[in-house]
Structure 1
Amino acid sequence: MSSPDRRAPHVAVVGGGVSGLAAAHRLRTLLGPSARITVLEQRDRLGGVLRTVDLAGTPFDVGAEAFLARRPEVPALLDELGLAGLRVHPGRATATIRAGGRTVGLPAGTLLGVPTSRARLDDVLSATGLDAVRAEPSRALRWEPGSDVALGGLLRERFGDEVADRVADPLLGGVYAGRVDTLGLRATVPALAAALDAGAESLTAAATAGADATPAPPRPPAGTPADGVPPSLTSPDGPPGRVSGGAAPPQVAAGPVFGAVRGGYRVLLSALADAAGAEIRPGTTVRSLERRPDGWRLVLGPVPEPEVLDADAVVLAVPAPALRRLLEPVVPAGASAVAGVELASSVVVALAYRAADVTAMPPTSGCLIAADEPLSVKGVTHSSTKWGHLAPDATDDLVRLRVSMGRFGEAATLQVDDDELVRRARADLRILDGIDAEPVAVHVQRWGGGLPQYGVGHLDRVAALESAVAGVPGLAVAGSALHGVGVPACVGTARSAAERIAAGLTATGTAARP
């Protein structure tokens, strides 16, 4: 119960994606029923890069489709919201990779595509590529402890182009919609960086040490960016020991590796919005943020007719460009830090087919595509095979799958109409899955600037951002640009942001603990 001399606080949450909604929900828990919470979302819908559509009458996710179930954040959130019974896990179908003109099983014995001493790469590399991998441990390695480099350049220098293009790029591209040549080593494979810092004599030895020091790596499901594939195996969905707000790193639990929500992510989003009890304002642009003696002022809406909203505290859960713009006048050091985070665009094409028309489709969970393959798509998920709740049955004899396109730097290739994207997807499905039938339903989902890129120096940028924001009372940041692009990492940053705000309001007497 609040003290009589303490008024109910008002917190503005900018951004209505899963990070913003999770922050609003946590704020409600911490501040109690009297607090005023306002969620401001520029788009006309909530969810950010999470979206569930009806594909031939069945809820189907066309953004992220899975989360890393061995991290605690999403299972705990589902429990809090009374949705634990809707958690589902993939079946036993395994994924494949398309490399060298062939579709084969994902290679074993790598650390997110970096060969260990146990790597089995015969099916994906040429004889020349295999020779380069075998020779790597005998070559002298120069490494400056604490340094960061582009993972692709390091792989090409040590193993040649094929490992980068055919193994690491498709695995990491499924996480970030990025290219291995632009992704930073420390942010994407921190276990490898730690082993190099410790004095590994070769990249193979470092990958072996990194793999041995972590839980058995999950096989990434084929699919689209943000599917929940962990950016690191040391601390899935983010660098080890680096969680927003200085919290301890999440613990990785035993049990199924991946999970999803029956009914799609819209079930989770709707439950979060309801439980937050917030005033939710879609279609509202936050144009600027101003620091005031008694809190914050947000300027909303169009320039000719601006609206002012005053709040005691603000959580910014927005993409990197919007975060930079809003921070510039109030925390310029934070704005400068986040300015280095670039974004990638992608497209998901979801298709439904009659089961009788796709009998040639292999019984796998999907396929990742090597960067040097002459195909338009970068991944295919056989959703009806991967997820039991989407399997055909007597009442719905349809097979559903999703195709993803677009890597960092390829935005121009996506600037065609939907019909052309569907044509490209179907052309590649003929090659990959032997599907030549007309789909009974199609949905094209574009994600312009949907995923932040974890480039060289990303950890330093995030540390500088959080340090700058930590010095400003009543302000916190959350989202996929920080400690991981997966849903668990986003929820983790949201909870940390909410806890920082609630603690600050309580300490200043603006709010009492409920």
Structure 2
Amino acid sequence: MREVQGQVVVIGAGIAGLAAAHRLLEHGARVSVLEASGRVGGKLLPGEVAGARVDLGAESMLARRPEAVALARAVGLADRLGPPATATASLWTRGALRPFPKGHVMGVPGTASALAGVVSEEGLARIERDAELPRTEVGDDVAVGEFVAERLGREVVDRLLEPMLGGVYAGDAYRISMRSAVPQLFQVARTHTSLTAGVRELQAKAAAAQQTGPVFMGIRGGIGTLPLAVADSVRARGGEILTRTPVTELRRTPEGGWQVRSGEREWLADAVVLAAPAPAAARLLRAENPGAAAELDGVEYASMALVTLAYRRSGTALPDGSGFLVPPVDGRTIKASTFSSQKWGWIADENPDLVVLRTSVGRYGETEILQRDDAELVDVSRQDLKAATGLGATPVATRVTRWDDGLPQYPVGHHARVARVREHIARLPGLAVCGAPYDGVGIPACIASAYAAVDRIRGDLRGVQELTAHPVQSLHGGAGE
């Protein structure tokens, strides 16, 4: 058995694990990152179709949270950052592509008029009744779909909220926690009798703050290049990153450190950052912390697939805008489509003879569609695209990317589960968890989670071994996004 000495072991090389390693190295730690798969990046995956560079996973990051953009700049990507060429999206509902309503928070409107053409006359009248209804108590948490349906009617949930949340969580709005997934609405629900009045207040505050700049940001070459750049920076600073190295055992040592084992290899560490999906984290914690493991065993995941298609530009016409969302209530197979060549100027610049777009299929509870083979997923995507946009051309290339159990679900009570996990973890000095199962599935939220984990590790080790002579300023920005 070969023993590898290391101060901090990071388990998992998704963006959270890589961000944790990068932050630890900034403060003088010796770091080994162990990744079970054959690559780094997790759900951020660069690829190509018909020779065009594209993202095969997440394609943008929230720019009004600082963590992701700041990390991209720190690893040398500043000159490749850029906003979408267009942020105008549509909603494919009631048999037509309709402009996505403005003046909403995650699909929840401030006025009924914002949803004209999307919601029926009866539905609009139901929204107007919100101001007349007594307060709806939300307690410690509530399903966002359940609450909004009670205040504004099911049409708002089914036509607006479901496609918005489906795009982020691949989940079911009637199960998703409002406190964890849409915390600004949860605060409104706790402090306002009228939901629409609370949304208008949120909008007024945003306007008064004069928020400028893009909401989202991309990277020339794809968001999937971010983890590659972070990994390069980690290695340049002396960090070790090993792929195809699944951790098989995590044990506390008699001296108070950690023993990390992968097959016949062993690392002795003062601390461990566990940045793995919930099932893997539960498996590794079962021996030393069965309470945390039991909680993580309860985290459910949704699967989905992305279908990327490339067409010859000649003879291919798409509607204006960045793409469209699809309410499940309309009975379509795809849940969204992104017109990648129109949304991202760099794709159009690099591939003037191609039109690239993608669709997404699958959400929580939908299993049948994802059991179909790749060719069938391409066929149903093409059928829906033709019905929505009139696009009947034959693609020159297609690519299906499956994300099995790719997105953790945040049902009612998720925040309490996360609190219990961290309460259990706090009993084991030198151990921290981070990533999508905890405080948000978006890229900035995962990075913030990683920075919070590093802060915890540094606090635990301060009396054992100084990581740096200077204090750390945490970039942890809070839960969710």
TM-score greater than 0.5 by the shorter chain? yes
1:167 maps onto 2:160 in alignment: yes
- The one of 342, 347, 354 equivalent to 1:390 is 347
The residue number in structure 2 matching 1:27 is 24
Contact 1:100–1:125 (CA<8 Å) still a contact in 2? no
1:270 maps onto 2:228 in alignment: yes
The residue number in structure 2 matching 1:280 is 241
User: Could you list the runs of 5+ residues in structure 1 that have no partner in the other structure?
Assistant: 1-7, 217-250
Quote how far apart the aligned CAs of 1:95 are.
Answer: 0.3
The residue number in structure 1 matching 2:90 is 96
The residue number in structure 2 matching 1:440 is 396
- Distance between the aligned counterparts of 1:193 and 1:70, measured in 2? 20
Quote how far apart the aligned CAs of 1:118 are.
Answer: 5.8
Q: Equivalences for 1:231-310 in 2 at 5 Å? A: 254-277=212-235, 278-294=239-255, 295-301=257-263, 306-310=264-268
User: Could you list the runs of 5+ residues in structure 2 that have no partner in the other structure?
Assistant: 471-481
The DSSP-based 3-state class of the residue aligned with 2:358 is: strand
Contact 2:11–2:34 (CA<8 Å) still a contact in 1? yes
1:472 maps onto 2:464 in alignment: no
Quote how far apart the aligned CAs of 1:376 are.
Answer: 0.5
Quote how far apart the aligned CAs of 1:9 are.
Answer: 4.8
Query: Which one is further off, 399-408 or 265-274?
Result: 265-274
Superposed CA RMSD: 2.2
Contact 1:346–1:407 (CA<8 Å) still a contact in 2? yes
Quote how far apart the aligned CAs of 1:173 are.
Answer: 0.9
Partner amino acid for 1:267?
Answer: T
Partner amino acid for 2:333?
Answer: S
Quote how far apart the aligned CAs of 1:194 are.
Answer: 1.3
Contact 2:59–2:224 (CA<8 Å) still a contact in 1? no
Higher helix share: 2
The DSSP-based 3-state class of the residue aligned with 2:218 is: strand
- Distance between the aligned counterparts of 2:340 and 2:63, measured in 1? 18
The residue number in structure 1 matching 2:110 is 116
1:351 maps onto 2:345 in alignment: no
Contact 1:506–1:513 (CA<8 Å) still a contact in 2? no
Q: Equivalences for 1:417-432 in 2 at 5 Å? A: 417-432=373-388
Partner amino acid for 1:180?
Answer: A
Q: Equivalences for 1:174-185 in 2 at 5 Å? A: 174-185=167-178
TM-score by length of 2: 0.90
Partner amino acid for 1:437?
Answer: A
Q: Equivalences for 1:360-439 in 2 at 5 Å? A: 361-391=318-348, 396-439=352-395
The DSSP-based 3-state class of the residue aligned with 2:334 is: coil
The residue number in structure 1 matching 2:15 is 18
Q: Structure 2 vs 1, CA of residues 457 and 213 (structure 1 numbering), >3 Å: closer, same or farther? A: farther
The residue number in structure 1 matching 2:473 is none
The residue number in structure 2 matching 1:107 is 101
Q: Structure 2 vs 1, CA of residues 324 and 209 (structure 1 numbering), >3 Å: closer, same or farther? A: farther
- Distance between the aligned counterparts of 1:67 and 1:317, measured in 2? 19
The DSSP-based 3-state class of the residue aligned with 1:378 is: strand
1:209 maps onto 2:201 in alignment: yes
Quote how far apart the aligned CAs of 1:119 are.
Answer: 4.7
- Distance between the aligned counterparts of 2:287 and 2:44, measured in 1? 30
Q: Structure 2 vs 1, CA of residues 119 and 284 (structure 1 numbering), >3 Å: closer, same or farther? A: farther
Contact 2:113–2:124 (CA<8 Å) still a contact in 1? no
- The one of 463, 468, 473 equivalent to 2:419 is 463
The DSSP-based 3-state class of the residue aligned with 1:501 is: helix
Quote how far apart the aligned CAs of 1:363 are.
Answer: 1.4
Q: Equivalences for 1:33-48 in 2 at 5 Å? A: 35=30, 37-48=31-42
TM-score by length of 1: 0.85
Contact 1:30–1:499 (CA<8 Å) still a contact in 2? no
Contact 1:469–1:476 (CA<8 Å) still a contact in 2? yes
Quote how far apart the aligned CAs of 1:512 are.
Answer: 5.4
- Distance between the aligned counterparts of 2:74 and 2:395, measured in 1? 39
The DSSP-based 3-state class of the residue aligned with 1:411 is: coil
The residue number in structure 1 matching 2:478 is none
Partner amino acid for 2:28?
Answer: L
In the comparison of the two structures, how many residue pairs are matched? Answer: 462
Partner amino acid for 1:168?
Answer: L
Q: Equivalences for 1:70-89 in 2 at 5 Å? A: 70-89=64-83
Quote how far apart the aligned CAs of 1:141 are.
Answer: 3.1
The DSSP-based 3-state class of the residue aligned with 2:103 is: strand
- Distance between the aligned counterparts of 1:309 and 1:215, measured in 2? 52
